[in-house]
Structures are given as C-alpha cells and as structure tokens.
Amino acid sequence: MINIIGTYDCKADAKGRVTIPSGLKNQLTPMMSAGFVIKHSTFRDCLQLHPRKEYDETMEKIKSKGRFNRKYVKMLRQFVSGAQPVSIDDSGRLQIPKDLVAFAGIQKEVVLTAIIDVIEIWDKDRYNADMADGADEYPDLLEEVLDDRSDLGKVEGNTSSDELS
C-alpha cells in the first residue's frame, strides 16, 4: 500500500490542465507508467485521483460483493460515475476532463491534497470552505475514529478504564 503525503496549491489553466508540484510528482513517479483514474469524490464536491493499481484493487473488492443485487448496481453506478483513465504528461501536467472540472467547480486556483493512496482535487474556495466547516468536528472525529479504548488494558503496564473504577 502506498502513502502519498502533502497538500499543494496549484493553478488550473483554461483547458483544465494542472501542473503537478515537484514534491507530489516525485511521490507519483513510480506509478506513472500504469497511469491513474480520476473520478467524482465519494463523499465531497471534489475529484479523486487514484493510482491505477490502487483503483483496480478497490474495484476487485467491490466486484466481490455480488453483482446480482439492485443496491449493489446502484451503488456501483454512483461509485464509477465520471471515472476516466488519465496520465501525467512529460511536462508534469494532469489534464482534467471538462465534465469533471465542471462537477468540482474548478476555476483557476486548485488544491491537491493526499489522503493515503488517493489525491483529492479541489477548487481552492471549496476546499477552504470544507476545511472550515469541519474544523469544530475534528477533535471529536479523532476520538471516535482512532481512540480504541478496548486496547488500553492489553498494553503491558496499562490498566483499562473499567479496572480503575
């Protein structure tokens, strides 16, 4: 599994091309030959750029869930909506398809932010609004998602919270 790191401010030209910053491009170089898949985000008004290998692995997991179920087909149709293969050219530019530029509301200023093995592509104003909107929730989300109190008593020297009362 790959771990892409960083948040980068970029500019999109009138044709929807974004020059990938060198710090990000260096991380993506090992994946360049296989290419990428760009698609609508699953949960946000942005785009997702998946390394092709990671996208194919995700699709294999999804395919294993069963194709003969109406909810599955509906979910899959939404998941792959707008998905298109793309590459980064020799000049380090990513061409974002026009329909996806419109979906994400990309104007001129763009934010690329890495989320483990996916790069989100945002219009800068939308990104800033989304980050501000979730800022108050962040501490609670950390606790809910990452705080596994059931493991406290399993670490040598630690006592579970139940044993303390």
Q: Which one is predicted more confidently, 64 or 20?
A: 20
**pLDDT, tens digit, 9 for 90 and up, residues 38-63:** 999 988 899 999 999 999 999 998 88
The pLDDT score that the predictor gives to residue 156 is 45
58 CB-near residues (< 8 Å, 6+ apart):
50
At 90, is the secondary structure helix, strand, or coil? coil
With a cut of 90, say whether residue 154 has pLDDT above it.
no
48: tokens are 């997702």
The pLDDT score that the predictor gives to residue 151 is 53
Report CA-CA distances (Å) from 83 to 38, 42, 106: 5, 11, 17
Q: Which of 120, 86, 80 is nearest to 104 (CA)?
A: 120
Burial (CB < 10 A; 0-12, 13-18, 19+), residue 87, is middle
Domains of the chain plus CATH, in order, are 7-148 (3.40.1550.20)
